[in-house]
Structure 1
Amino acid sequence: MPEMLWLLLMCLALGAVVGLLAGLLGIGGGLLIVPALVWLLPHVGIDTALVMHIALATSLACIVLTSGSSARSHLRLGNVDVSLVKLLAPGMVLGGLAGSAVAEWVPSAWLPKIFAGIVLLLALQMLLSLKVTGRHPHPLPGGAKIVGSGSVIGLVASLAGIGGGSLTVPYLSWYGVEMRRAIGTASFCGSIIAVAGMTGFIVAGSGDEALPAYSVGYVYLPALLGVVCTSVLTTRFGARLVSRLPTPTLKKIFAIFLLFVGGKMLF
């Protein structure tokens, strides 16, 4: 019980930081939740062979609950292009489910390195402020091409335990989608990816007797509860600080931190 209480308190603190950064920098919490859980979970006796699966699944579950409210807000503000969501969603669902299947299939020792590689690429994009803008007169591709694009985004996002906004926004921008609509649509799509990925991890972990108590598949409920309870509260404070703090500078500092985290997990 003392270990469980310690984990809950640490996850409450983690959730507060995640919510603040999400509101301030507009980033997904998975980039912080996954490495934090990878460090925390072994301290409460969870098998190291299961830690990465649990961290990814729990991060996606957190995103389902926290980004859902953000997606709803964007929908009310008219920032979500429903037609784009309909085009991207099938592939993203497939990719999200595939990500959990790949995580179950590859050796456990490879998962931290796969996550680290994704984090390093996203950190470099954030650090260098890389923006993808297209001047294509034609709309998004249809049929197999957009299903394939959505699948790749969903797969990578699921393997990293993130919502995929860092991938979806540049993709939509490349096809000339206005930034406000790209962000709102990516937020809504991120919820879809998270639901698909979480579902896949729950199914993959079902029946595994080595999982700790209070687990639903690979989703670890005590960690989920701790992170969500505070992150939903601090997101609004982060949003209020946007106009008061040098957000671009803070974003670069966070990117450097991610480079450190990714490098540590990789090497």
Structure 2
Amino acid sequence: MLIICAIIMGFLASCLSSIFGGGFGLLSVPAIFWMINHFSPETPHVMQMTIATGTLCAIPLGVIATYKQIRYKNFDLKLYKSIIIVMTIGALIGAYLATIIDSHSLKYIFGIIVLLTAIWLLIFKASKPRKKTISKPLFKSLSSIVGGISTLTGVSVFSVPFFILCGIEIKKAIGTSTAIVFTYTTIAGMWMICLGIPVMGINWHNLGYANLPIFFSAFIPCILGGLVGAKLVHVLPSHFLKRIFIVMMFIVSILMLL
């Protein structure tokens, strides 16, 4: 039953991420958290395992999405090179904090951040042109914080709105964010797994904080879901997608806060 749930989660989370340009963790975090609690109720560090496992599951989707954005020339190499180091440092710090904060508190942090992000996206208008007035040091500092929050919660849906608010053109923001998020979440995910090895060990069930049965079950569905989502995004109206996405964020945040 765990394998079936992981397959469904991997497909739907990747499909969702491809449709909305991000948000794999929005579905994978609550789904993996429930699976671990339900099928292995005595497992410690549930939220840490949830974030690490979700990060691993997102890797195949990240490879496909990054390749597509580069192919469609939505990738800004200059922007990528300017902030990838600071965002990766922030992501590593976020991953470390996720290992020292207790699982119960981490669950509430996830719910609160997703709720605040949903409210932000509800009033956020990406179509309005913006002039870049933010200084480079401040931009890099805020980028580092965004990277840290992403790995702390396992969700990176706010990176694209952040780049747009800083004056980056929408398509470049989406394409470059895809590559940046893929890079720092992969590195931070490996770091989090290494931090979990002394705590959880290595066996057939887990590699540090990563749950291996969930990861291997979701690997192929993640690829298939990403491909299906890429097709659906050209069929469904954008305003409808945005509303559904925000509603999902409110629902997920409330469920995690209960």
TM (norm. structure 1) is 0.87
**C-alpha spacing 1:47/1:213, structure 2 compared with 1 (3 Å):** farther
Larger CA deviation: 58-67 vs 237-246: 237-246
Residue 145 of structure 1 deviates from its aligned partner by 3.2
Which position in structure 2 is the counterpart of 1:205?
Answer: 196
Residue 250 of structure 1 deviates from its aligned partner by 3.8
Residue 48 of structure 1 deviates from its aligned partner by 4.8
Q: Which structure 2 residue ranges, 5 or more long, are not aligned?
A: none
Give a deviation string over 1:22-50, Cα, whole Å, max 9, x none.
23232321110000111111222253532
1:231 partner amino acid: C
Contact 2:200 2:209 in 1 (8 A): no
Q: Which structure 1 residue ranges, 5 or more long, are not aligned?
A: 1-5
Number of residue-to-residue matches in the alignment: 257
d(CA) in 2 for partners of 1:211 and 1:126? 40
Contact 1:56 1:160 in 2 (8 A): yes
Which position in structure 2 is the counterpart of 1:118?
Answer: 113
d(CA) in 2 for partners of 1:117 and 1:172? 21
1:135 partner amino acid: K
**C-alpha spacing 1:154/1:230, structure 2 compared with 1 (3 Å):** same
2:69 partner amino acid: H
d(CA) in 2 for partners of 1:25 and 1:263? 21
d(CA) in 2 for partners of 1:250 and 1:67? 21
Give a deviation string over 1:191-217, Cα, whole Å, max 9, x none.
122113202211210122477743222
TM (norm. structure 2) is 0.90
User: Which stretches of structure 1, 4 residues or more, deviate above 6 A after TM superposition?
Assistant: none
d(CA) in 2 for partners of 1:45 and 1:248? 40
d(CA) in 2 for partners of 1:213 and 1:15? 20
- The within-5 A match list for 1:128-139 is 128-131=123-126, 133-136=129-132
CA RMSD of aligned residues (A): 2.2
- The within-5 A match list for 1:172-187 is 172-187=163-178
Give a deviation string over 1:58-113, Cα, whole Å, max 9, x none.
11112222112211221122211111111111111111111111112222220000
- The within-5 A match list for 1:1-267 is 6-131=1-126, 133-136=129-132, 141-142=135-136, 144-162=137-155, 164=156, 166-209=157-200, 213-267=204-258
